[in-house]
């Protein structure tokens, strides 16, 4: 059965460029981003891991740990990491997991036979501190991920986990948010002192509550 939102992210142990990783223990109380790559020494993947390394401070301030996974072996990862650092002018210090037996790829349904019988698709999972899957994005192998979108979703998830709000289309940090329908307008006025703008009875906005 495919992994779905709200499911507990499968735990695993694997060798990585940062030593052996026990996934749930490694995450601890942090959020996690686990993303797969079709193979080492491939051009799109090289740019993606470089971008992740360059965004290190953005992930850290959100309490997010990033982990990449490829079905290639560890010695290949170690050599590839040098290329990533050189071509992206960065320092990859997050784990690149080795998955030569495809254990992780199978647990996370990363191999789609109609796309490729061996290579993983470009899957990305955001996992909360409760170890539940919060987001799944799957790209084809030929399309690099939009990491600004990944950060935007993390911002939304962390905001909505702590406040009774949702985020509208194209929302960015600092913009108005939507009050969830389960809260009456009367209660919303009390709960959100920055103000409530009612467009429709079911569509009400308030300034972002945590800034």
What CATH number is associated with residue 170? 3.30.1020.10
pLDDT (tens digit per residue) in 111-155 = 754 444 445 557 899 999 999 999 999 888 788 999 999 999 999
3-state secondary structure of 68: strand
Residue 77 has pLDDT above 80, yes or no: yes
Residue 70 has pLDDT above 80, yes or no: yes
Please indicate, yes or no, whether residues 22 and 124 belong to a single structural domain of this protein.
yes
Closest C-alpha among 180, 177, 133, 179 to residue 152: 177
Please indicate, yes or no, whether residues 170 and 96 belong to a single structural domain of this protein.
no
Q: Which residues are catalytic?
A: 45
Q: Which single residue is written with the structure tokens 């495919």?
A: 2
Q: What is the pLDDT of residue 181?
A: 95
Residue 37 has pLDDT above 70, yes or no: yes
pTM, two decimals, is 0.91
Please indicate, yes or no, whether residues 26 and 114 belong to a single structural domain of this protein.
yes
Cα–Cα distance, 3 to 137 (Å, whole number): 12
The residue range of the domain holding 195 is: 163-206
Reported as a pLDDT band with limits 50, 70 and 90, residue 105 is: confident
Q: What is the pLDDT of residue 121?
A: 59
Classify residue 110: in a domain, yes or no. Answer: yes
How many folded domains does the chain comprise? 2
Q: Give CA 160 to chain center in angstroms.
A: 16
Classify residue 3: in a domain, yes or no. Answer: no
Q: Give CA 81 to chain center in angstroms.
A: 21
The two tokens of residue 209 are 């509550």
Classify residue 158: in a domain, yes or no. Answer: no
Reported as a pLDDT band with limits 50, 70 and 90, residue 110 is: confident
Please indicate, yes or no, whether residues 69 and 113 belong to a single structural domain of this protein.
yes
Classify residue 92: in a domain, yes or no. Answer: yes
pLDDT (tens digit per residue) in 51-68 = 999 999 999 999 999 999
Lowest mean pLDDT among 79-83, 106-110, 151-155, 157-161: 106-110
Share of the chain above pLDDT 90, in %: 82
Q: What is the pLDDT of residue 85?
A: 98
Please indicate, yes or no, whether residues 188 and 104 belong to a single structural domain of this protein.
no
Per-residue H/E/C for 120-161: CCEEEEEECCCCEEEEEEEECCCCCCCHHHHHHHHHHHHHHH
Please indicate, yes or no, whether residues 123 and 190 belong to a single structural domain of this protein.
no
Share of the chain above pLDDT 70, in %: 94
> Who contacts 188 (Cβ-Cβ below 8 Å, separation ≥6)?
179, 196, 204, 206
- Averaged confidence pLDDT in the chain: 92
Which of the listed residues 102, 117, 144 is the one where a domain comes to its end? Answer: 144
Classify residue 199: in a domain, yes or no. Answer: yes
Residue 40 has pLDDT above 50, yes or no: yes
Classify residue 195: in a domain, yes or no. Answer: yes
Please indicate, yes or no, whether residues 60 and 113 belong to a single structural domain of this protein.
yes
What CATH number is associated with residue 140? 3.40.30.10
Classify residue 172: in a domain, yes or no. Answer: yes
């Amino acid at each position: 059965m495919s992994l779905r939102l709200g499911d507990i992210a499968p735990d695993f142990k694997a060798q990585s460029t940062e030593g052996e990783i026990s996934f749930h223990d490694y995450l601890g109380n942090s959020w996690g981003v686990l993303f797969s790559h079709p193979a080492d020494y491939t051009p799109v993947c090289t740019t993606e891991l470089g971008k992740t390394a360059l965004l290190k401070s953005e992930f850290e301030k959100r309490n997010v740990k990033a982990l990449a996974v490829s079905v290639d072996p560890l010695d290949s990862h170690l050599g590839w990491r040098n290329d990533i650092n050189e071509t992206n002018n960065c320092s990859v210090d997050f784990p690149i997991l080795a998955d030569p037996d495809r254990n992780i790829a199978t647990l996370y349904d990363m191999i789609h036979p109609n796309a490729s019988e061996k290579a993983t698709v470009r899957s990305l999972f955001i996992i909360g501190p409760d170890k539940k899957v919060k987001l799944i994005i799957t790209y084809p192998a030929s399309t690099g991920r939009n990491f600004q979108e990944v950060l935007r979703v993390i911002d939304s998830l962390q905001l909505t986990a702590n406040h009774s709000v949702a985020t509208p289309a194209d929302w960015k940090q600092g913009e108005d948010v939507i009050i969830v329908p389960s809260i009456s307008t009367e209660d919303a006025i009390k709960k959100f002192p920055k103000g409530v703008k009612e467009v429709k009875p079911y569509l009400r906005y308030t300034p972002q509550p945590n800034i």
